Structure 1
Amino acid sequence: MGLHEGLSGTRHGTDPTVKSIASGDISVTRTYSERSVLDAAAIPRAEAFGVTVQLRGFDSQRLWRGGELVYEGGRPKASLAITDLRDQWRCHQLSPFDNVRFDIPFARLRAFAEEVGRSEYVALSCFGGRIDPVMHGLAQALLPSLDNPEEANPLFLEQINLAMLAHLSQTYGGLHFPVDKKGTLAPWQERLATEFLAAHFNKPFSTGDLASRCELSRSYFNKAFKESFGRTPSKWLTDYRVARAKELLLQDLSIAEVAIDCGFADQSHMTRVFTGLTGETPARFRRKNRPFGLGSDPLGV
């Protein structure tokens, strides 16, 4: 992955304590306190996902998104929250707490997917409060490195990052890695197929032509593709288009323009497909997720 360890150090204050370390473009920050914090803390905005793991449960917190209070309450130990850091978040801890936050650039997550032969348009589902023992274990494994960053092993940090990216992309990003390789596409066929589909996501093409490029019959290609990716080429393409639509809906484009740019017949077509996959209309998704937009799902950062 070309990751390297970098140190941003430990900041000692009366309350709270913050320790950080960086490995390539992924940063890890532990923040903890045995008391409540006097003031709300702003989380820096970035083109990244924030993945926060609670090392211990806490009783009370207030969380704001774009100036709106979206959550008030506690979270249990090992609970996980995923947030889009393009939004402005502020968090006020009203009880003792201890958490680790991974800041993962969008580009790093997508580069990881390509490196493992999965060229899907990967984005993590944002939510709060789910118990995740795997991320809790990875966060705990990093505590010695956070305590003594000058002694941290760069190879160890890289391996933790790889394990984290694999877990997050499969569990919350929808990537599929088959356990049994029988009946799947060869690695070169997987890469060719996903690169072709991504390049033609808004253009007409023939599945038969794609199968021929992979030197397979159409029927065998469809079966092997599903074994490799856990979905048919058509479903893969639909998921990809919806993921692209989610990105474009956060920009200053009309919903009709987003629909055409993402290969849908028109706005109504995109609305039907988008709503079927996400459970909400493109307009509602835009209202909820644009920076400083109205409404949000409660997240425990």
Structure 2
Amino acid sequence: MTNQHIFSRGMQQVLGLPDQRIPVIKTIQNNSLAATRCRRDLPFDAITNPLPREDAYMIVIQISGKNSRELWLDGKPVKTEILGAGGVVFHDLRQSVQFCFHDPLDSVNYFLPRKTLNAIADDADASRVSDLTFTPGVGVMDQVVAELTRPLLPAFDNPDRVSQLFADHISLALGFHIAHTYGGMRTIARRQGGLAAWQERRAKELMGANLEEDVSTAELAKECSLSVGHFARAFRHSTGLSPHQWLLRRRLDEAHGLLRDSRLSLAEIARACGFADQSHFTNAYTRRRGISPGAWRRQKEIFPKS
């Protein structure tokens, strides 16, 4: 999860950003989907180096402020519009893409290979996407991309806290949305069922047996003899939760039980239940229960059961 993707290194060379400012989240869904947070406090004074040509798309969402820029595709200038917070632009990396930014930069850039779009279409029994439809240099407001990006933002400061299941969840949802909304992918209307009883049981066993370890959606899908996309949809249909959400609840329930053992520190409980550290555990527990684990433990000491 914390290894740099080639796209991350390419963006560093293009934008001149130091390593620590561009953490990357990489997931596997037959292929990889990378997300890079790019931040620069000052505008650029020159045209950037061109991005490496690849059979892929770069999808950029502006996080804060506005960004006015000049754009060149294969050396030819392209008219652009100011990109405000929440605006999304697309770039076809089969072309040589260069920029000149006139405002500070704060964006999340997604790298979406064409082979990933093909895998998504194949999994959905749909026709493959030939090209994405967009106007170069012109942004669109996309609420789905914004909602999927929002929970990723804290992860760029703490990439080690990102579980594989969470990254898979974002990757699958984003890829499907892009293929459907901008690639015209149409799935065959059919009744979507859940997992068989043995599949649901096996998936939950794998996630619950070793809470301190990370597991990917691909591993769970393989154990259930399903494709990644089919498994993710069927698991949600059966449980009402994504695999990531189910595992997080399972970890929090286990941690809640361990809080009753005063011999264990919060840090020890966090490690035992698969959280990156005590802070990660505390934040997740507080969001779920409305009280910090330390405060809950102190409350129980003050008001013990009679």
CA drift at 1:104: 0.8
State the partner residue of 1:156.
166
- Residue type of the partner of 2:26? A
Give 3-state SS (helix, strand or coil) of 2:79's partner. strand
Matched, 1:26 2:33: yes
CA drift at 1:95: 0.8
Give 3-state SS (helix, strand or coil) of 2:139's partner. strand
Partner Cα separation in structure 1 for residue 174 and residue 107 of structure 2: 16
Partner Cα separation in structure 2 for residue 122 and residue 146 of structure 1: 32
State the partner residue of 2:139.
129
State the partner residue of 2:63.
55
State the partner residue of 2:200.
none
State the partner residue of 2:208.
none
CA drift at 1:15: 11
Kept in 2, the 8 Å contact 1:60–1:73? The answer is yes
Does the C-alpha gap of structure 1 residues 93 and 114 become closer, same or farther in structure 2, counting only changes over 3 Å?
A: same
Kept in 2, the 8 Å contact 1:55–1:140? The answer is no
State the partner residue of 2:253.
none
- Residue type of the partner of 2:3? L
Percent identity over paired residues: 26
Matched, 1:165 2:165: no
Partner Cα separation in structure 2 for residue 119 and residue 59 of structure 1: 36
Kept in 1, the 8 Å contact 2:145–2:174? The answer is yes
Root-mean-square deviation over aligned CA pairs: 2.8
- Residue type of the partner of 2:51? I
Q: Which digits, 9 at most, give the CA deviation of each residue in 1:197-256, with x for residues without a partner? A: xxxxxxxxxxxxxxxxxxxxxxxxxxxxxxxxxxxxxxxxxxxxxxxxxxxxxxxxxxxx
CA drift at 1:89: 0.4
Kept in 1, the 8 Å contact 2:129–2:179? The answer is no
CA drift at 1:139: 1.7
CA drift at 1:132: 0.6
CA drift at 1:6: 5.1
Give 3-state SS (helix, strand or coil) of 1:51's partner. strand
Partner Cα separation in structure 1 for residue 19 and residue 103 of structure 2: 12
State the partner residue of 2:3.
7
**Partner residue of 1:39 out of 46, 49, 53:** 46
CA drift at 1:100: 0.9
Matched, 1:176 2:186: yes
Kept in 1, the 8 Å contact 2:88–2:141? The answer is yes
| Farther off after superposition, 119-128 or 11-20 | 11-20
Partner Cα separation in structure 1 for residue 159 and residue 184 of structure 2: 33
Bigger fraction of residues in strand:
1
Q: Which digits, 9 at most, give the CA deviation of each residue in 1:153-210, with x for residues without a partner? A: 11100010111012111111112347x747x9xxxxxxxxxxxxxxxxxxxxxxxxxx
CA drift at 1:85: 0.3
**Aligned pairs, number:** 178
Partner Cα separation in structure 2 for residue 50 and residue 154 of structure 1: 22
Unaligned runs of 5+ in 1: 185-301
Kept in 1, the 8 Å contact 2:124–2:187? The answer is no
State the partner residue of 2:197.
none
State the partner residue of 2:153.
143
Task: Give TM-score, length-normalised by structure 2.
Answer: 0.52
CA drift at 1:82: 1.6
| Farther off after superposition, 10-19 or 101-110 | 10-19
Kept in 2, the 8 Å contact 1:57–1:74? The answer is no
Does the C-alpha gap of structure 1 residues 16 and 7 become closer, same or farther in structure 2, counting only changes over 3 Å?
A: closer
Partner Cα separation in structure 1 for residue 72 and residue 124 of structure 2: 36
Task: Give TM-score, length-normalised by structure 1.
Answer: 0.53
State the partner residue of 1:211.
none
Does the C-alpha gap of structure 1 residues 16 and 131 become closer, same or farther in structure 2, counting only changes over 3 Å?
A: farther
State the partner residue of 1:228.
none
- Residue type of the partner of 1:37? F
CA drift at 1:21: 2.6
* Pairing of 1:1-301 with structure 2 (within 5 A): 5=1, 7-8=3-4, 13=17, 17-24=21-28, 25-41=32-48, 42-127=50-135, 128-177=138-187, 181=190
- Residue type of the partner of 1:138? L
CA drift at 1:26: 1.4
Give 3-state SS (helix, strand or coil) of 1:43's partner. coil
Partner Cα separation in structure 1 for residue 92 and residue 80 of structure 2: 19
Kept in 2, the 8 Å contact 1:53–1:81? The answer is yes
- Residue type of the partner of 1:28? A
